[in-house]
Amino acid sequence: MRWLTTLMLILAVLVPLPAQAATVDKPPLAPTPPMGWNSWNKFRCNIDENLIRQTADALVSSGMKDAGYEYVNIDDCWMATQRDAAGDLQADPVRFPSGIKALADYVHAKGLKLGIYSSAGTATCQGRPASLGHERADARKFAEWEVDLLKYDNCHDGGIPAIERFTAMAEALRATGRPILLSVCEWGANQPWNWAGELGHMWRTTGDIADRWGSMVAILDQQVGLEKYSGPGRWNDPDMLEVGNGGMTMTEYRSHLSLWALLNAPLIAGNDLRSMSEEVREMLTNREVIAVNQDWAGVQGHKISDSGDLEVWAKPLSDGGAAVVLFNRGAVGAEVATSAAELGLPAAPAYEVRDLWSGQETVTLGKVRASIPSHGSRMYVVRRGVPAKPVPAVATAVRTDTEGFVKPGQTFAATVSFAVDGLPAVLAAEVALTAPEGWTIRPEGRTGTPVVVPGRPFEARFAVKVPGDVRKGVFELPARATYKTVAGDGAEREEPGYGSVIVAEAPRGSQWLSDLDPVTADVGFGTMGRDRNIGGNPIRIAGVPYGKGLAPHAASEVTYYLGRGCTRFSADVGVDDGSRNRGTVTFHVLGDGREELAATGVIKGGERATSLDVDVSGVLALTLVTGIGPDNNNNDHSVWGAARIACAGPSTTVTATPTEVEIGAGGTFEVSGRLVADGTEPITDVRLAPSAPAGWTVSGQAAQAERLEPGGTLAGSWQVTVPAGADPGAVELPVAATYRAQDGSTPSDSATVKVLVRPAGVVAVKEAESGTLGGAARVSNCGACSGGKKVGNLGNGAANHLTLGALTVADEGEYRLILDYLVSGTRSVFVSVNGGPAAEVRVSGTSFAVPATTTVKVALRAGVNEIRFFNDTAFGPDLDRVMLAS
């Protein structure tokens, strides 16, 4: 993939090759990739000794021990918050009252090994005591407890180079005399593949994995080119398995495990072994898949072909065969193919192909292929064989004449092909195609044939009608072929085929991407924000606000259908300020076949946005990718600010002035609106006017035009009167436009004026969420609050504050500050006006869901004022709204 190559080159520049690590006489462990279980992925800090004992029991009873899993690894949060009087690490007395040695004895008695965790820093990633400066003492303690593995993390590094920190622990472990496997968890930040093999037995190549498809494939992409560094006793580690944790489908988990096995990744399960389903247990204990991972030659698999979303990964085996994973990372089913020659196998009359998940054995003359569902894979071992085995390899495929996209009401052609790749021929072949409920399928010709021979596939064509009222999305078109073999038992056999189409309509004119539905959206955490960041707060990059934009947590892939009718994509990209100047992200704009159209270097939190303006002429589908930089992805809050697409067709942009009005009940204000016809076609019957709530009065005629050419404008102004009895609070006043396009459709567009209606006697109103937030302060939803939002996480640090500006009063003097707040219990907030001395306001309440009110007197100057709310030492209340009354 071109964008991955770009990323690797960027990292090579940003992270210079470190000096070689000092040679450490490490113990000869891990001749094959380590296997076991780790607590972090599923349980995080919710661990205790009972969980570890029960997991050891489950490792044995489930058959995982017999399958090769041997390490039971305790991750972060096992230690007490303080070292003991002698300066040694000690187990948390509540969670691990029996101590680590007793736990090791329990695990060893079951024929298993115990792993433990620390960090090469001043604290662990969760803030517990860590080992920087305590390496020898901690290593001695680990050996005393008879620990077998140390996962050594990279948090709170104290500014000391990674090689120095990890070398110190490697030397300390060696000095104990106990064979302890060292897992270097350095996140790939300093290219550990160049030096960690001299110190430890496995090293993380990336940041943390998440139980999400987007995270898994982003980590997979970063393994390309690292295979040459791996081998017996020194393994690349793309992080632990997420199989069974619930964030992916079983199809995706099977791909995850197949690829990790082929990559010689340490197979470290991360699920709850005590309650896993039988399907998950069988997946994790598949002995043939594990055998590929544990092959004694230790040659890591690698990607041998890449056709956009369709990839082939292969690994040579010690017996002369090859393991292969046919992988479809795309949104629709497709055939993935390779050959024995491409797998590096010598010429032979035929080759035996064994499916490691189904156990089926077939023979091929050279082709290795299969129809693969979206996000699916097939894993085979291919070896030299004889051509006349009873069951030849066959393949069923589905293709359409639509490039994969269809419209509601469309009729399209789908062809099912059935091919034989080995000998002998097959008999009585019959194919069938299935469509979603409500769709219609009609065969156009015969659907069966008496015989199919190698090199002459049978094809059947079907007409498929899409319902006119179908929703947008991906729809499967599964096929199946039934047949009988010439030799063998003569039983009817079946081969599936996986087809799909995507119902979508191409955008017209210029549109914000956040107003369009993506075809797919795979994100690294949570859900993608539209016009808000992933925390639900306004989007800001380096202090610059963006009213429109996409906010997917990296690593992410978001795809939009363009239909070859668009010309330009533009966006300002960067890390959202919610990351608090942390996070490192890369941005990639991909066209068809995952061709890279544009890319950035690594962008760090706090850096100014990078502007992209990309030619997308002729692109069928646009994919926006964010990747993680050279650290973990905990704060990779990526943002495509002001993401916009320019396409053929009519389009308008409506603006309204002012964007926000503060007024008392019974008052009148002026609103202006402007429409720009910014598409590629003229529009007719254009109308622009405010749409006021019931009881409000709008004076002035709607602005109208019979026809606007591209670039034409329409403007109007109106007087809006608020009813005398209007309820106080926030009201949205849309300035709406309607028009007729050349195809007869009647699109609409609008801009919104936010009107803050003041209660009687109130001279100024501000919603808390409209202010400037500092530090960890954030906006969240609040159904009972005046604007539906509130500001929380105020205080408990000088950085976490809220500032409300543009509080305008006519006269200097004393005013009542009416503060709507939310709290359970009693808290204090400090109030400073115009940078003056702060006054403490102590408030009490019973709920963080329902606002209460307090009043305090403040001195204001005539004109514009600014009020800051903070508490440097403790958490303050959540804030809803501030009002000023004379």
Beta strands in 222-349 (DSSP E): 235-237, 267-269, 302-307, 310-316, 322-328, 334-339
When pLDDT is cut at 50, 70 and 90, the band that residue 738 belongs to is very high
The 10 Å Cβ neighbour count of residue 417 is 19
pLDDT beyond 50 at 2: no
Please report the beta strands in 297-340, taking only residues with DSSP state E, as ranges in sequence order: 302-307, 310-316, 322-328, 334-339
Which pLDDT belongs to residue 782?
A: 86
The beta strands (E) that lie in 130-265 are given as 149-153, 181-184, 202-204, 235-237
Instruction: Check residue 386 and give its pLDDT.
Output: 81
Query: What is the per-residue pLDDT across 59-118, written as a single tens digit (0 to 9) for each?
Result: 999 999 999 999 999 999 999 999 999 999 999 999 999 999 999 999 999 999 999 999
- Residue 781's Cβ-count burial label (10 Å; 0-12, 13-18, 19+) is exposed
**Comparing 498 with 2, which gets the higher pLDDT?**
498
pLDDT at 488: 66
Report the SS3 class of residue 425.
Answer: coil
- Asked if residues 805 and 786 have their Cβ atoms less than 8 Å apart, the reply is no
Tell whether the torsion through CA atoms of 169, 174, 175 and 180 is positive or negative: positive
pLDDT at 632: 67
Nearest of 10, 9, 26 to residue 195 by alpha carbon: 26
* Non-local CB neighbours of 455 within 8 Å, separated by 6+ positions: none
- Over range 799-807, report the average pLDDT: 92
> Which residues are part of the catalytic machinery?
153, 208
With cut-offs at 50, 70 and 90, classify the pLDDT of residue 21.
Answer: low
Q: Which of 60, 125, 424, 436 is nearest to 274 (CA)?
A: 60
Q: Which residues, other chains included, contact 437 with Cβ-Cβ below 8 Å and sequence gap of 6+? A: none
Please name the residues in contact with 501: beta carbons below 8 A apart, sequence gap of 6 or more.
332, 400, 402, 404, 405, 406, 412, 466, 474, 475, 477
| Separation of alpha carbons 756 and 728, rounded Å | 7
Tell me the C-alpha distance between 628 and 215, whole Å.
9
Nearest residue to 152 via CA among 162, 141, 163, 166: 166
Cα distance between residue 728 and residue 735, in whole Å: 21
pLDDT > 70: what percent of the chain?
97
Token digits of residue 834: 């115009």
pLDDT tier at 625 (50, 70, 90 boundaries)? very high
| The pLDDT of residue 10 | 37
What φ, ψ does residue 501 adopt, rounded to 5°?
Answer: -135, 160
Report residue 526's pLDDT band, with 50, 70 and 90 as the boundaries. Answer: confident
**Average pLDDT of the residues in 848-857:** 92
When computed from its CA atoms, the radius of gyration of the chain, rounded to whole angstroms, is 32
| Interval 361-371 mean pLDDT | 97
Q: Worst-scoring range by mean pLDDT, 375-384, 484-493, 607-616?
A: 484-493
Determine the Cα–Cα distance for residues 329 and 331; give it in Å rounded to an integer. Answer: 7
The answer to whether the beta carbons of residues 803 and 818 sit under 8 Å apart is no
Q: Mean pLDDT throughout 329-338?
A: 96
Least confident of 437-451, 526-540, 832-846: 526-540
Task: Quick: pLDDT tens for 384-422.
Answer: 998 767 799 999 999 999 999 999 999 999 999 999 999
| 581 confidence band (pLDDT: 50, 70, 90) | confident
Angle (CA) 82-83-84 rounded to 5° is: 115
Is residue 143 pLDDT above 90, yes or no?
yes
pLDDT confidence of 1, banded at 50, 70, 90?
A: very low
3-state DSSP call for residue 289?
A: helix
Q: Is residue 852's pLDDT more than 90?
A: yes
Query: Tokens representing 287?
Result: 């002995």
pLDDT value of residue 776? 83
Above 50 in pLDDT, residue 715?
yes
pLDDT score of 204 more than 50: yes
Calculate mean pLDDT across residues 275-300.
98
Number of H helices, E strands in the chain: 11, 57
Cis peptide, bond prior to residue 21, ω within 30 of zero: no
pLDDT for residue 388:
66
Q: What is the pLDDT of residue 11?
A: 39
Does the pLDDT value for residue 697 go beyond 60?
Answer: yes
Q: What is the pTM of this model?
A: 0.80
Arithmetic mean of pLDDT, 258-279: 98
**H or E stretch at 838:** strand 838-860
pLDDT at site 17:
41
Residue 228 DSSP code:
G
